[in-house]
Amino acid sequence: MDLKTVAVILFDDFETLDAMGPVEVFGCLPGCQLRFLSRYGGEITSSQGVVVKTENAIGQPDAILIPGGQGTRALTQDADFLRWLSVFIETVPLCMTVCTGSALLAGTDLLNGHNATSNKRAFSWVTSLNHKVHWQPRARWVRDGKFYTSSGISAGIDMALQVVVDYHGREQAVDIAHRMEYVWNDAPGNDPFAVEW
């Protein structure tokens, strides 16, 4: 399956690079379109002050990307939001999270029984939310079935390049990394920020 549409789920106080790192990667993938979605549409402001225009509905995307950030703290307690999010996750063939975006995914219970990782500074908090997830303390990113979960912030770039490998081949991913002048960490087990846990 080619990735033609990637929907990025935004919410106030998302972490800018969690979203924009993978957006750069998929935006450089020929034929792939990014869409920006939020619960109610309209303007969404990141923790770093970027105001992004979003839609409140789109067709069926090929993949969704859920960033993390301070905004996840309240949303993990928001049953309405988690139900809304679940619908998207259940219907897409590929779901990616960056950083504490995995806290939202874990909040839907759809990650139960799966391997996953998260931001390493927030690891205690994220893992405390759902003990049915097999949390990995040493992983740049983890793939388990249709779920890709990455470590903190910039790790999302490495994970997104791996998704390009898995869907479009290594040559395409290497070309995008080179175009970005990015030194790609392409080994999921190479986690310079791993925590004891």
Q: Which residues bind its own copies (CB under 8 A)?
A: 15-17, 20-21, 23-24, 26-28, 33-36, 43, 46-53, 119-121, 151-155, 157, 178-183, 185, 192-193
Q: CB 72 → its own copies: shortest distance, Å?
A: 16
Give the β-pairing of 42-45 and 33-37.
Answer: unpaired
CA distances in angstroms from 95 to 69, 107, 173, 183, listed in the order given = 17, 14, 19, 24
Q: CB 91 → its own copies: shortest distance, Å?
A: 22
3-state secondary structure of 156: helix
Of the pair 107, 156, the CB lying nearest its own copies is at 156
Contact yes or no for 69/15 (Cβ under 8 A): yes
Q: Which of 65, 81, 68 is nearest to 13 (CA)?
A: 68
Q: CB 188 → its own copies: shortest distance, Å?
A: 14
Q: CB 85 → its own copies: shortest distance, Å?
A: 21
Sheet holding 33-37, edge to edge: 33-37, 5-9, 63-66, 95-97, 147-150, 141-144
Of the pair 132, 179, the CB lying nearest its own copies is at 179
Of the pair 110, 177, the CB lying nearest its own copies is at 177
| d(C-alpha 112, C-alpha 96), whole Å | 15
Q: Which of 108, 95, 126 is nearest to 8 (CA)?
A: 95
Of the pair 80, 181, the CB lying nearest its own copies is at 181
Of the pair 87, 195, the CB lying nearest its own copies is at 195
Of the pair 30, 80, the CB lying nearest its own copies is at 30
Q: CB 58 → its own copies: shortest distance, Å?
A: 12
53 Cβ partners below 8 Å, 6+ apart? 36, 42, 43
Q: CB 197 → its own copies: shortest distance, Å?
A: 15
Q: Which of 104, 109, 144 is nearest to 122 (CA)?
A: 104
